[in-house]
Amino acid sequence: MKFSTSNFATYFAVTAATAATTTTTTHAFVPLLVSKPLKGTTESSSYANVDRYCVDHPNNNIPNHIAALVGRGLHTKEDHPIGIIRSKIQDYFIAQDSEYKIFDGEDPIVTTTQCFDDLRINPDHPGRSPSDTYYITDETLLRTHTSAHQSMHLRDGYEKFLCAGDVYRRDEIDSSHYPAFHQLEGVKLFPSADVDGAKGLSKEEWLASPECKMIADDLKETLEGLMDHLFGPVEKKWSDDFFPFTEPSFECEILYEGEWLEVLGCGVIHSEVLEMADRGDRRGWAFGLGLERLAMILFKIPDIRLFWSDDTRFSKQFSAGKITTFKPYSKYPPVFKDIAFWLPEDFVENDFFEMARGIAGDLVERMELTDTFTNPKTNKTSKCYRITYRSMDRSLTDDEINVLQNDLRVQSETLGLEVR
Ligand code: DAH
């Protein structure tokens, strides 16, 4: 499955037809590898241990350069744009209701049960495939979304909470996609007395019920307030969406500087999700948003790689509690290289993207498909990609990029690619 152009929400927003039937899941025993939530404290440094992620397992697909990103805790740094946005969101919710519990130190390693089954994401959902997700073992993975913690917190009895963290997805490469980014999840349950009237309703009856409307209205009002809090008074647009874990589901767009921008996904929590979390007597809402996306808009940060930069020309620009416009420092010239190859039958584009990142790291700014050609005689397909290499802090030489590009040509053969 192709990922959406934004870093959040639409990942799981597949069509209802793809989402197909409901899974009934029993709760797999959570292995020792997955630690208990840190109940609101920030304890991410212990996660910065590459050995936790790169384990010897035949289906482990986590390269070192990804494992090295875990545990940086950008969302917990008060003077980092990701941390600044996160605390602005937090302030808004705490001002609404001081009972919101804040989580930001959960283990980024979760089980397939937590990340998918508890949320009605079926075993055959494309988002679960190893071409899209970083697996540690068959049952454990780097969370692909913060929704992975929803059910655990609900089961532990929390009724209103926010949960922020780093999430990981194998993905395409350009200025707004990076394999690691941050999300913030919000959940609110309503008192049983407010939703008792909805007991035993069919799906259609529930969707038409005043209780469902009350929750959806509260959700939209809350999130509209959040958007005004972040962007100033701003025009919003709601559309119906689809997520396996909410029903109904919505997406919100805002009109910002003349452009409609998708900023979040949300909905009324699916009754089966609540039942699996032993909260079948309750109803409520949930939302998820991408922090990089908001930060790129609000701070005018042009490239998602900058968030991970240790360059003081980046970090010195930001201070706690302040949204300021990023002043780009000299952009060094790019080096472009093309690579074309014949494809094997089982070509997985993300494997190729990841290989390039493994070789050239953050020097890869963008990988763009520029040509596809199928030979009518042999029926073989060839693809050509243009790779943009650029450093954030120095000029690159053609010679050094040739070395990397050559490495990529050689290593590509291990993916069954026949370089032309
Ligand atoms: N987890 C979704 C994603 O990453 C975002 C999301 C959508 C979260 C709807 C929610 C929700 O809690 O209700 O694509």
Residue 147 CA: nearest ligand 1 atom is: 1
Distance 279 CA to ligand 1 centre (A): 19
Distance 199 CA to ligand 1 centre (A): 25
Low-confidence ranges of the chain (pLDDT < 70): 1-45
Which of 7, 8, 116 is the pocket-test mutation for ligand 1 (most atoms within 8 Å of CB)? 8
Token digits for 171? Answer: 């993905």
Report the Cα–Cα distance between both ends of the chain, in Å, rounded.
27
Best residue among 147, 152, 188, 246 to mutate for probing ligand 1, ranked by most atoms within 8 Å of CB: 147
Locate the ligand 1 atom nearest the alpha carbon of residue 288 and give its number.
8
DSSP 346-371: T--HHHHHHHHHHHHGGGEEEEEEEE
Q: Determine which helix (DSSP H) or strand (DSSP E) holds 173, and give its type and residue range.
A: none
Which pLDDT does position 4 carry in this prediction?
36
Q: Which of 103, 243, 271 to mutate to test the pocket of ligand 1 (most atoms within 8 A of CB)?
A: 243
* Pocket probe mutation, ligand 1, options 6, 184, 287, 293, max atoms within 8 Å of Cβ: 287
Residue 198: its pLDDT value, please?
84
Separation CA 392–CA 159 (nearest Å) = 43
CA of 383 to the centre of ligand 1 (A): 33
CB atoms within 10 A of CB 26: 8
In the reported structure, the alpha carbon of residue 266 is separated from the centroid of ligand 1 by a whole-number distance in angstroms of 6
CA 18–ligand 1 middle distance (angstroms) = 17
Residue whose CB lies within 8 A of the most ligand 1 atoms, among 116, 125, 168, 245, for a mutation test: 245
Residue 353: predicted pLDDT: 96
Encoded tokens for 308: 């991970």
Q: List residues near ligand 1 (CB under 6 A).
A: 8-9, 11-12, 145, 147, 185, 243, 246, 265-267, 286-288
What's the confidence (pLDDT) of residue 43? 54
Alpha-carbon torsion angle 188, 189, 191, 193, nearest 10: 130
Which residue's alpha carbon is at the smallest distance from atom 12 of ligand 1? 287
Q: Give 239's contacts (C-beta < 8 A, 6+ positions apart).
A: 250, 251, 253
3-state class of 228 per DSSP?
Answer: helix
Q: Are 149 and 111 in contact (CB under 8 A)?
A: no
Q: Whose CA is nearest to atom 14 of ligand 1?
A: 9
Q: What pLDDT does 80 receive?
A: 97
Separation CA 255–CA 356 (nearest Å): 36
Per-residue pLDDT at 279: 97
pLDDT on residue 44: 59
Domains detected in the chain: 9-307 (3.30.930.10), 335-419 (3.30.70.380)
Q: Whose CA is nearest to atom 9 of ligand 1?
A: 266
Q: Can you give the pLDDT at residue 22?
A: 32
Per-residue model confidence (pLDDT) at position 21: 32
Distance from the alpha carbon of residue 177 to the mean position of ligand 1, in angstroms: 17
Q: Nearest C-alpha to atom 8 of ligand 1 is from which residue? A: 288
Tokens 């003077």 locate to 79
Cβ neighbours for 143, distance < 8 A, ≥ 6 positions apart: 108, 109, 110, 114, 115, 149, 165, 167, 168
